[in-house]
Amino acid sequence: MKYFVTGGAGFIGSTIVDKLCEDKTAEVTVFDNFCSGQISYIQHHLKNKNLKLIKGDLQNLELIKENIKGHDFVYHFAANPDISKAMTETDLDLRLGIIATYNLLESMRLTGVKSIAYSSGSGVYGDVGFTETPEDFGPLLPSSMYGACKLGAEAIISAFCHMFDMKSWIFRFANVVGKNQTHGVAYDFIRKLKEHPKELMILGDGKQSKSYIHVSDVVDAMKFVIDKTDKIVNVFNIATDSYITVNEIAEVVLEEMGLRNVSLQYTGGDRGWKGDVPIVRFDLTKIHGLDWRAKYNSKEAIKRSVREMLGKQ
C-alpha cells in the first residue's frame, strides 16, 4: 500500500506515520508545510527508503497532483491546530481547512486516488451543553471558525465521494493528547509553569469538562474502523466515555511537575475564548457497536500525555 499523509510531521500525523511504517512493505509520503509540524517527529524515519518527505502547502494544487499520483490511501491531518487564532485571522481555517481540503480532493480526482481518512472534531457539533451527540446529530451549528470549516470540509469530502466514486472515513475526535502535541490545555499549563512555577493562569473558570483521548488510542481507532467499515462515507466519533475538567487537568500537571503552593488564577467566565465549547459530550454507541473502546480514560490519557511531555514516560 502507498499512503499519502498530509500534516504527517504534525502531532497526530506523525503518530500515524509511525504506525504505517511498522509495515516494512508500506510506502509512505509525508506532505507537510511545517507551520506546526516538526521534522524531529519523523526524524527516525528519514533513512527509511520507503518514506518520502515533501515540504509543501495544500494551497498548491499542482504540487499536490505531482506527488499524490499512484497512492492508494490518503490520511488528511493538515489543518490549523489553534482554534482561538481565528479571532484575529478570520480566514485562517477557510484557507487551511476548506480550500486545502478541496485542493487535496481535486488532486485525488485528477490522479485516480480513491480513499481518504479525514481528521475532524467535536467542534462540528457546536455548543450543545451536556447533550451526548451521535454522528447523525443535527442541526450542526458550530460556534467557531475551526468547527465551521471542519464541517465544511466534511461536506466537500462527502460530495466528492458521491460524485467521483471515492470512499471516505471521517473521524470526529475528542481532545487528542500525547507526546508530540503542540497545543492544548496540559501543554499550555506545562509551558506556563516552567516560566512561572508559583502561579498558573487558567482560561475561563476551570469547570470546562470534555473528553480527552490519547493519540495512541486515536491511531488504533482509525485503523480499526477503516478495516471494519466500507460505506461511501463513514463518520465516527472517536473519544473516551469519561470526562475531565480543566481544574482536574491542572491538578494532574501540578502533581507530575512536583509543584506545591501554586496560586491558581482565572480569567473568569465559563469558557476560555469566544468560540470555545465548555462542555463536550459524545454518543459513542456507533463505535462501541463495532466493539472498540479506548484503552485509556480521560484522566489516564491526560496523565500519560503529561508524563510524555515532561520526558518521564
pLDDT at 86: 84
In a domain, 290, yes or no: no
Q: Summarize pLDDT for 83-121 with one digit per residue, the tens.
A: 888 889 999 999 999 999 999 999 999 999 999 999 999
In a domain, 291, yes or no: no
Residues 112 and 73 in one domain: yes
Is the pLDDT at 43 greater than 90, yes or no?
Answer: yes
Is the pLDDT at 82 greater than 90, yes or no?
Answer: no
How many other β-carbons are positioned within 10 Å of the β-carbon of residue 200? 19
Residue 280 burial by CB count (10 A; 0-12/13-18/19+): exposed, middle or buried? buried
C-alpha 16/C-alpha 5 separation (Å) is 8
| HEC-encoded secondary structure of 123-159 | HHHECCCCCCECCCCCCCECCCHHHHHHHHHHHHHHH
In a domain, 286, yes or no: no
**Bridge partner residues of 254 (DSSP):** none
Residues 124 and 162 in one domain: yes
Residues 30 and 125 in one domain: yes
pLDDT at 67: 98
Residues 125 and 246 in one domain: no
Residues 76 and 172 in one domain: yes
Residues 131 and 196 in one domain: no
pLDDT at 87: 86
Beta strands in 58-195 (DSSP E): 73-76, 115-121, 167-173, 175-177
Q: Which residues contact 174 (CB under 8 A, 6 or more apart)?
A: 122, 210, 211, 212, 213, 237, 238, 239, 240, 280, 282
Residues 271 and 202 in one domain: yes
Q: Summarize pLDDT for 250-260 with one digit per residue, the tens.
A: 999 999 999 99
Provide the CATH number for the domain around residue 259: 3.90.25.10
Residues 109 and 199 in one domain: no
Is the pLDDT at 10 greater than 90, yes or no?
Answer: yes
Domain with 263, as residue range(s), is 182-210+242-278+296-309
Residues 88 and 197 in one domain: no
Residues 169 and 262 in one domain: no
Q: How many domains does the structure of the chain reveal?
A: 2
pLDDT at 312: 82
pLDDT at 219: 98
Residues 149 and 268 in one domain: no
Residues 300 and 227 in one domain: no
Per-residue pLDDT, averaged over 166-177, amounts to 98
Is the pLDDT at 71 greater than 80, yes or no?
Answer: yes
